[in-house]
Amino acid sequence: MSNVLILGANGGIARIAIDLFLNETDVQLTLYLRNSRRLRNIDSNRVRIIEGDVMDIEKLKEVMIGQDVVYANLAGNLEPMAKNIVEAMNATGVKRLIWISSMGIYDEVPGEKYGSILEPYRRSATIIEESDLDYTILRPGWFTNKDEIDYETTQKGEPFKGHEVSRKSVAALVVKLATSPELEVRRSLGVNKPVR
């Protein structure tokens, strides 16, 4: 049974992933978030809730102890957050990181040019790629709320396929990666709904 720490646990993808983790795996979850009142009631003895900010490095190190997997579902000023997470994981010897980013960070989407809006995503991905961690970076397309698990992935260096992907698909991939320690390690994956 493994221990999974979710940073930014009230995020849209994270909330779906929490349900999948609880319904389909036996992992123990630690939910780390800035305001625990925002989280709807989760009735499970496999869940521990810790209120905290990813910018609080000491608290972050504390919550890393004993974790097998860190799943970061964050938005905003991602570069200092990535630095803190790498530092806290190095300090506590936790190796496996799943990091939600965005399509477009390598200019890999045919016919699209993303500007400065993706800078925090680009810079945070570089920090993670330059670390020694066993990371998997996910670069999803535009999120939809479709109730489906339907996705394919592309590797770094390949053109992105499609445009959209359901939140549920991204959450399902996170759960698969978190429970498969050897899968897609040190990889950055585009995630899209196949175009048929």
Positions touching ligand NAP (CB under 6 A) are 8, 10-14, 33-35, 38, 53-55, 73-76, 81, 100, 102, 140, 142-143
Nearest CB to ligand NAP, comparing residues 3 and 52: 52
Nearest CB to ligand NAP, comparing residues 81 and 98: 81
- DSSP E strand boundaries for the chain: 3-7, 28-33, 47-51, 69-72, 96-100, 134-140, 142-144, 152-155, 164-166, 187-192
Q: 12-24 vs 167-178: helix axis angle to the nearest 10?
A: 50
Q: How far is the CB of 1 from ligand NAP (least distance, A)?
A: 25
In contact, 69 and 96? CB cutoff 8 Å: yes
Nearest CB to ligand NAP, comparing residues 65 and 75: 75
Q: How far is the CB of 180 from ligand NAP (least distance, A)?
A: 21
In the complex, residue closest to ligand NAP by CB: 11
Rounded to whole angstroms, the Cα distance separating 116 from 191 reads 21
Nearest CB to ligand NAP, comparing residues 45 and 111: 111
| Phi, psi (deg, nearest 5) at residue 147 | -85, 70
Q: How far is the CB of 174 from ligand NAP (least distance, A)?
A: 10
Q: How far is the CB of 64 from ligand NAP (least distance, A)?
A: 14
Q: How far is the CB of 6 from ligand NAP (least distance, A)?
A: 10
Q: Which amino acid is at 104?
A: G
Nearest CB to ligand NAP, comparing residues 26 and 148: 148
Q: How far is the CB of 164 from ligand NAP (least distance, A)?
A: 8
Chain mean position to CA 115: 22
Strands 187-192 and 134-140: parallel
Nearest CB to ligand NAP, comparing residues 121 and 132: 121
Rounded to whole angstroms, the Cα distance separating 186 from 169 reads 21
